[in-house]
Amino acid sequence: MVHKTPYDTILGIETSCDETSAAVVRSGEVCSNVIASQLVHAEYGGVVPEMASREHERLLAYITRSALEQADTGTKDLDAIAVTYGPGLMGSLLVGVNFAKGLAMQNNIPVAGINHIEAHLLANMIDEPELDYPFLCLLVSGGHTQIIRVDGYGQYTILGTTIDDAAGEAFDKVARLLELGYPGGPYIDKYAKEGDPKKYDFPRSLKDSGDLNFSFSGLKTAALYTIQPMPENERRQELPHLCASFQEAIVDSLEMKLRDAARQTNIRSITIAGGVAANSRLRNRMKQMQEELNLRLYYPDFQYCTDNGAMIAFAGWYGFRNGIQHDLRLTAEPRLSIAATSVN
Ligand code: KG4
Ligand code: ZN
């Protein structure tokens, strides 16, 4: 049973990277989640920051109106606004933060800044309100790869992190080498289904490092040296095997360190979050690990894995029940860390 707080209907705004999104959450339920994935970056093989902020500027008011309409909600019905204030691209974050502050001023309601990484990990609770602390979260996105210990709301400890590329970044870079389009993760996931994951022996870096850190730049370089010399027809023929072998190397590294983290902390609840949590092989391997080690495993619905406004609105709704601060002096913080997010 969910008890009402004065802040029950929350508009969430997400503009940290290349998704312009707005959503309404009421009493913990997602009422709408409108996402515009910016297509302008595809031809560049990665996000062009200047174009991203212009696109957010162009789309945000329209996307917000759609989210309110789909939730059958007027601005007068809103109790508060939640907006991503970091980490992310400075220009993109500023568009969202300023828009949210303007709307909050106009309607005389609070605006709360949401840490994008925290929203990814809390997204596990959207459909699993019973998820209990403590839990471990494998946060795998385009910008981050971390194992986070979550002891309560605002109580986050980073146990391991990537020392170079993020897992999603590695997916995107290798997809670009293979001329698959952007973002690359979903393409590699798709082609890998037909391939042999053992055909190419790609490295699993930091396997014996004794810590919970990750490294994907050696894997990316190994993929480059394998793919680049291949003639066009061979590359096309080998595509499924290259995708499957590369994906397996990433998933092996992630699984290995998460397994170590579960053993070291003795925490029995495991979650995965972020765009790469949509990867089908990672989900399967997590399920196998869960059965083998008798753990509880949670992951968000696909639509709440990649960047979306619903996770921001939900983090706002959850935050207001747990003492989140709100302040009109809110500003964008591109390098915000999850470790900096805590409630006093
Ligand atoms: O969380 P997200 O939407 O944005 C960031 O906060 O970075 O994650 C985007 C990343 C991209 O690198 C994309 O290629 C990856 O998530 N991704 C996937 C899949 N779907 C999205 N990677 C592997 N397999 C997928 N199915
Ligand atoms: Zn994200």
- Which listed ligand is nearest to 311 at the C-alpha? 2
What's the confidence (pLDDT) of residue 191?
98
Residue nearest to atom 13 of ligand 1 (CA): 185
The Cα–Cα gap between 246 and 141 comes to: 17
- Of 241, 253, 242, 255, give the one whose Cα is nearest residue 284: 255
To test the pocket of ligand 1, the residue of 15, 84, 171, 246 to mutate (highest count of ligand atoms within 8 Å of its CB) is 171
For residue 278, the ligand 1 atom closest to its alpha carbon is: 26
- Which listed ligand is nearest to 175 at the C-alpha? 1
To test the pocket of ligand 1, the residue of 47, 93, 276, 302 to mutate (highest count of ligand atoms within 8 Å of its CB) is 276
Distance of CA 55 to the CA centre of its chain: 20
Exposure string of 52-61, with b = 16+ CB inside 10 Å and e = fewer, is bbbbbbebbe
In one-letter notation, the amino acid at residue 50 is E
| DSSP line for 145-173 | EEEEEEEETTEEEEEEEBSS--HHHHHHH
Q: Low-confidence residues of the chain, pLDDT below 70?
A: 1-4, 340-344
Q: Which residue has the tokens 């789309």?
A: 59
The Cα–Cα gap between 183 and 47 comes to: 9
In one-letter notation, the amino acid at residue 251 is V
The Cα–Cα gap between 161 and 80 comes to: 33
E strands in the chain: 9-14, 19-26, 29-37, 80-86, 111-115, 135-140, 145-152, 155-161, 269-273, 296-298
Token reading at 88: 């992310």
- Of 61, 22, 62, 54, give the one whose Cα is nearest residue 38: 54
Residue nearest to atom 16 of ligand 1 (CA): 275
- Which listed ligand is nearest to 276 at the C-alpha? 1
What's the confidence (pLDDT) of residue 339?
83
What is the 106 CA–ligand 2 centroid distance (Å)? 29
Q: How many residues does the chain have?
A: 344
- Ligand 1 neighbours, Cβ below 6 Å, are 17, 141-143, 168, 171-172, 183-186, 189, 274-276, 278-279, 306-307
Residue nearest to atom 21 of ligand 1 (CA): 275
What's the confidence (pLDDT) of residue 341?
59
Token reading at 104: 């909050």
Residue nearest to atom 23 of ligand 1 (CA): 185
- Of 16, 106, 65, give the one whose Cα is nearest residue 328: 106
pLDDT tens per residue, range 244-301: 999 999 999 999 999 999 999 999 999 999 999 999 999 999 999 999 999 999 999 9
Residue nearest to atom 22 of ligand 1 (CA): 185
